[in-house]
Amino acid sequence: MRKKSASSVVLAWLLAFFFSPGAKARTEEPLSVSSPDGQLAVTLELKSLPGPFPPGERAYFRVKYKGIEILSDSPLGLDFLGAGPLDQDFEVVGTDRRSNDSTWENPFGPRRVVPDRYNQLTVSLLEKKPPARRVDLIFRAYDEGIAFRYFLPQQEVLETFALAAENSGFHFPKNSSALILDMGRFNTHNEGEYLWTRLDEIKPSQIINLPVVIEIPGGPWVALLEADLIDYGGMYVSGVPSIANALVSRLSMPPRKESLARNITTAERALREQPVVGATPKATPWRVLMVSPTPGRLIETSYLILNLNPPCALADTSWIKPGKSAWDWWVGSFAADLPFTPGMNTKTMKHYVDFAAAHRFEYMLIDAGWYPSTRRDWAQDNIRNWIPEVNIPEIIAHAKAKRVRIILWVDYRPLETQLEDALALYEKWGVAGIKVDSMNRDDQEMVNLYENWARKAAEHHLIIDFHGAFKPTGRERTYPNMLTREAVMAMEYNKWSSRVTPEHDVTIPFTRMLAGPMDFTPGAFRNAARGRFIAQDVEPMSQGTRAHQLAMFVVYESPLAVLADHPGAYENQPGIEFIEQVPTVWDDTKVLAGEPGKFVTIVRRKGDVWYLGSMTNWDERDFEIPLDFLGKGTFEARIFADGPVAAKDGTSLSIAVKHIKEGEKLPAHLAPGGGLAVILTPVGK
């Protein structure tokens, strides 16, 4: 912590006096901090409230937005294995206030210049009774939301610890509704539908993934997330017994098999079963409430998660290249008039490389099957060699000649056992990066593995795409070689289900995408209108129209955009020219309109060119898009819209060019499951 000024010391002494047990009628005065624009305020107060807790004064915080209470008194506390909970009978022994007003540059996201303005309050608490442990509560108030974390200073009475639970409460107003992803357990791949649920219907037995997006009646929209997750279990939430509209944090538990090892004591087993084991000094991740008058504004200000992470840890990031990638896995063994049999073989991979080169894509991703595997003991698979059918050096040499770089899929288990040798070898081969898969966990051990992989991969100039992954928490600011990750029910589900609907497509920008980059693998070109979709493993379809798929390249945030389909699906097909031109990182982002599960319209700028993406659910829509964001001058609009028969034939696409000026409105017609993609280029520049 920062060294306190003389005025801070005096203030701490005064607070200690007024908060002391003998102070007359002044037990605890609230301590507050407000956002720079004054619209958000978070208040901490020590008091005793009726409820399910044992008697005693506890630390509660509450949040107001424009005078509207969006969190009523919500308790804070930590439970430790073998020790009493750290959650009551405190005295304030110090406070610290600081502010920040700066910007930083992010060349790998939806906004290049990121504002970072906040006011911060740190309140140091001391237990009044032995063992007299200390904890700091750190609150930050941004214009975009509020965040808090616990900090355990180094102290003799708490040198090492096993954290059994973090009991951070979030008590929302009555009649609030939420979009939730209920996977029902810890340690999942975070792939499912976000469904509307009344907060008072969420049960204590449920385990709800983050983000949770809450609509407060008559008030703002709120997104509950976490940031800067490192050396800690991932956070989930559950309902609270006997308290309606309340959520409480739950920490990801280690896999049970980790606690079943033989030849360990009962105490050692109990230690292994806790979500966090550590030593002081120790900071928890940030608990974040993004707050906005509209759901679209949540998307615009999701950089808040990045702001709550440390700056880039890499001295040089020039080797990290965003871009688009061809990909061989989604379509299966596709049928094509080719002089070879498509499959996991050298000729097929070269075919994809040639496609990537022809359309100026930066990468080709070779997925599972290129290295020898018994599929019995995954950790023993040899990820430092290739099967005879796939000559990796030959493919890399071919790609290099075409100015395309190769990304290799690896299962995390052999990666962990062969990490140093494998990454060094990939760098020597000239590989650009790795796609790490199948983790399906976010317990403390796995969280630390991600961090280690990111750091080690950066040392070897390798980018990373995480699949079978937990949600982002902004660590890509610190290690920007983590270009993207899955943690979303994405295009792959069309191979075996009908779950990835247009409704789902226009829900995830307002939910999962708030956490960070999202590898949805867009760009399917076998597009099925409503009622015509069939789930199939080989050459799968997408639900909705081709314009809907094109719009995803603008709507979805991912510095690495991995195209789903095979080269033949794009050959001589309208719409591929939009994919060729659309960037994957941006200078500015604006959400023009949208509502979760219904529709969304987003514009993003790269240089002086704007790109527009609009998508709808199965409802047909006609509306006008205001173009006030364009600025002065005339723009050429290249419009990729649903074709005249798109309601029956999802591949129907209309392409038109017109000139447009600032202040005009662009008429839009979206077919059921439809979309709109537009390139707006200044004329005469």
Is 69 labeled as catalytic in the residue annotation? no
Q: How far apart are CA 282 and CA 230, in angstroms?
A: 11
Q: Which position among 193, 411, 437, 442 bears the catalytic label?
A: 437
Measured CA to CA, the distance from residue 211 to residue 94 in angstroms comes to 33
Provide the CB-side half-sphere exposure for 671 (13 A, CA).
27
Q: What angle do CA 447, 419, 310 make, to 5 degrees?
A: 40
Quickly count: other Cβ atoms within 10 Å of residue 54's Cβ. Answer: 8
CB atoms within 10 A of CB 196: 13
Q: What is the 3-state secondary structure (H, E, C) of 343-397?
A: CCCHHHHHHHHHHHHHCCCCEEEECCCCCCCCCCCHHHCCCCCCCCCCCHHHHHH
The dihedrals phi and psi of 438, each to the nearest 5 degrees, come to: 80, 20
The one-letter amino acid code at 532 reads: R
CB 455 within 8 A of CB 448: no
**Look-up: residue for tokens 């075409």?**
402
Contacts of 479 (CB under 8 A, 6+ apart): 312, 313, 314, 451, 454, 455, 458
Rounded to whole angstroms, how far apart are CA atoms 434 and 430?
Answer: 12
* DSSP three-state, residue 227: strand
User: Residue 572, by phi and psi: left (phi above 0), alpha (psi -120 to 50) or beta?
Assistant: left
**What are the structure tokens assigned to 569, written together?**
């699906």
Cα–Cα distance measured from residue 412 to residue 435, given in angstroms and rounded to the nearest whole number: 9
Calpha distance 50→575 (Å, rounded) = 62
In angstroms, the CA 470 to CA 636 distance is 41
Whether 451 is catalytic: no
> What is the C-alpha to C-alpha distance for residues 573 and 142, in angstroms, rounded to an integer?
46
Set 96, 443, 492, 505: catalytic member: 492
CA distance 674 to 643: 10
Instruction: Give yes or no for a contact between 415 and 422, defined as CB atoms under 8 angstroms apart.
Output: yes
At position 44, the amino acid (one-letter code) is: L
Cβ atoms within 10 Å, residue 102:
10
Please state the φ and ψ torsions of residue 593, each to the nearest 5 degrees: -170, 160
Comparing CA positions, the residue from 395, 401, 307 lying closest to residue 118 is 307
CA 117 from centroid of its chain's CA atoms: 21
d(CA 329, CA 338): 18
Give me the phi and psi of 199, to 5 degrees please.
-60, -35
Using DSSP, state whether 102 is helix, strand or coil.
Answer: strand
Q: Are 75 and 167 in contact (CB under 8 A)?
A: yes
Catalytic (active-site) positions: 437, 492
